[in-house]
Amino acid sequence: MKTVVARAGQEGPLLTVEGLAIAHGAVPITTPLDIVVERGDAIAIVGESGSGKSLMARAIAGLLPPGIVATGAVTLDGIPLMRLAEREFRKIRGSRVSMLMQNPFTMLNPLMRSGDHVDEMLRDRPEFVSRAARAQEVKRRLAEVGIVDEDVARRMPFQLSGGMCQRVALAAALARDPDLLIADEPSTALDATTQAEIIKLLRRVQRERHMSLILITHNLRLAFSTCRRIYVLYAGSMLEVGDAATVERRPFHPYTLGLLRSEPPVDVRMPRLVPIRGSVPRAADVADSCGFADRCDWVTNVCRTGKPSLAARDANRFTACIRQEEIQGELDALRMAAHSFAPITPRREATTGALVRVDALVKTFLGRRSRPICAINGVSLHIMPGESVGLVGESGSGKTTLARCLVGLETPTAGDILIDGIAATDFAAMTKADRGRIRRAIQMIFQDPYSTLNPRHSVGQALGEALGASAGATSPATPERIASLLADVGLPAAYATRRPESLSGGERQRIAIARALAVKPAILVCDEPVSALDVSVQAQVLNLFRRLQAEHALSYLFITHDLAVVRQIAERIYVLYLGEIVEEGPTESVISNPRHPYTRRLVESIPRSLIQRAP
């Protein structure tokens, strides 16, 4: 590759970002940020939702949405990008800077064949004027991203899986051989196993091409295992910068430490996860103090007087914590503290008296031209009273369909469901009394915290309605009952008057749990209840699930794609693959000793920590 040689001859960093501040009108979204990307280097910008990381990526590529303005200086190889006219910038995009977006399905034009996306990028290069030359090059480019099946180039995006789409998008982004690739959550929308493949591919391509990479992600583990340098962004300001290995081993900012500690480990079950209290603030609300002050265990008055700026603490390390030197000892001690783990006493292998029993369940949907599509195919499982069972599988495996059949939102095509001794296969065929009993025995928690509550009802109305549906409810729900439900999920009684729009994702999910608890169910079916939440909030909600299980003797069917989450919650897991259960057993043994090839792939796809834990 001759371009590589030419690039290596130049000096200085490829990209420097100085004092980049993004604002929406008068409302600041980020404080001035600095970033340096060396040639051939991979950096990660890590942040939770609302940190401003995606807008930062867009600002660098000159693609900010209307109404959002950026000030500062972005210099790419000596070119001041922020001062370029749109016409000039267009020549830079694609050929010098390329972007890879989160959602592979919306990133490709639905009316263009996948090969044409790459072809389009090659068109204005003189060496590919002829159609045949371009076709040859498209083939080569697709092969680079691991697509060897030539048929793929002729297919439409909707005929491809998410992982395939992302590969095509990557090939298109790389088609003009950019010096810098900005990947904005490139794997978040994909299944765990595909995620690992895409990230591996991204790393390989980056190294082979000696290209610079900015990876935007919320996933610390992913950032550490992929990139050399880490920028931690929180509520619009940079809190910590350093090399991946040293940041992971010895974080200099309480927030980074909190993130590292709150991520559930996959290898051990912890007695209690370590959450960060509260939720992520908006950048504008913390303009005059340390953004993390309200959630920090080491906060003093100093932290609230003015915004601390990023300061060098080491040759290569920066932190925005002004108390770092005082508290580093404590941070280190917490970081190094070995995980204590809680062994589970395995239950006896009895299946009599199961709370939920599913036998050879089949659910088919009518697809296009009335062709049946089998969502679940002969699934059998059981859940004992008080037991917490995990159901692991990727999207399309049928896990949500199974959950919806259990709570009567779908009617199975064949098979039997027995809940609390009552046949609950077809809710419409049950007597009214039986249906009422089942409704109160089994409740569901949904994935999306933003639409799980009726936006027009206050929290009190939502809980009151649920209380009205519980057994023997004759009088209207009293404020005391609502307050005690709120207390159950760790929220103050004053929340009864709040509306969903004023609540954070974590709070909404708590309300949804309280609503389900109102009818005193024996089992909760939880469909990815924490996957839409910020990492620092996930641990809070997982702890809540564990506490509620102990206090209310609840059973769980915990549906997730995240093995680390299921490790913390479930005693026993089922692995669902293409509508069938391929493996089942105690969580411990399935994760440490997977037998089915799919389970093995799933376990291997978890980004590994660079540092070994103390045994």
Partner 1 sequence: MSAPAISETRRRVPIVILIAALIVTAMVICAILGEKIAPDSPFLQRLGVGDTPPSPVHVAGTDLLGRDVLSRVIYGARTALVGPVVVAAGAFAIATLLGLLSGYLGGLVDSAIMRWVDFMFALPGPLVAIVVVGVVGGGYWTAVLVLAVLFSAPDTRIVRSAVLEQRPLPYIDAARTLGISRTRILFVHILPNIAPIILAYVVLDFAFALVNLAGLSFLGLGVEPGTPDWGRMLFENRSILFSNPVALLLPAVMIILTAVSMNLIGDWLYERFAK
Residues that bind partner 1 (CB under 8 A): 24-25, 27, 29, 49-55, 65, 67-68, 102, 185, 282, 284, 404, 407-409, 435-436, 439-440, 442-444, 446-448, 451-457, 465-466, 469, 512, 515-516, 518-519
Q: CA 391, 508, 451: angle at the middle one, nearest 5?
A: 75
By beta-carbon proximity to partner 1, the closer residue of 39 and 508 is: 508
By beta-carbon proximity to partner 1, the closer residue of 153 and 280 is: 280
- Smallest separation, CB 28 to partner 1 (Å): 10
To which H or E segment does residue 134 belong?
Answer: helix 131-144
- Smallest separation, CB 109 to partner 1 (Å): 22
- Smallest separation, CB 311 to partner 1 (Å): 25
Rounded CA-CA distance 38/516 in Å is: 52
By beta-carbon proximity to partner 1, the closer residue of 458 and 609 is: 458
- Smallest separation, CB 460 to partner 1 (Å): 14
Rounded CA-CA distance 163/184 in Å is: 15
- Smallest separation, CB 46 to partner 1 (Å): 13
By beta-carbon proximity to partner 1, the closer residue of 29 and 565 is: 29
Rounded CA-CA distance 33/20 in Å is: 5
By beta-carbon proximity to partner 1, the closer residue of 49 and 380 is: 49
By beta-carbon proximity to partner 1, the closer residue of 258 and 408 is: 408
Q: Report in angstroms the alpha-carbon separations of 371 from 70, 108, 368.
A: 51, 27, 6
Helix (H, G, I), strand (E, B) or coil at 231: strand
- Smallest separation, CB 103 to partner 1 (Å): 11
Query: For residue 371, which amino acid is it?
Result: R
- Smallest separation, CB 457 to partner 1 (Å): 8
> DSSP states of 303-328 as a string?
GGSSPPPPEE-SSS-EE--TTHHHHH
Rounded to 5 degrees, φ, ψ at 376 are -130, 140
Residues 6 or more apart in contact with residue 561 via CB below 8 angstroms: 191, 192, 392, 393, 394, 395, 528, 531
By beta-carbon proximity to partner 1, the closer residue of 56 and 118 is: 56
- Smallest separation, CB 414 to partner 1 (Å): 21
Single out the residue of 326, 477, 483, 355 nearest to residue 420, CA to CA: 355
By beta-carbon proximity to partner 1, the closer residue of 335 and 457 is: 457
Rounded CA-CA distance 121/487 in Å is: 57
Contact between 448 and 394 under an 8 Å Cβ cutoff? The reply is no
Show the tokens assigned to 188: 């978040």
- Smallest separation, CB 323 to partner 1 (Å): 28
Strand positions, DSSP E, 564-609: 572-577, 580-586
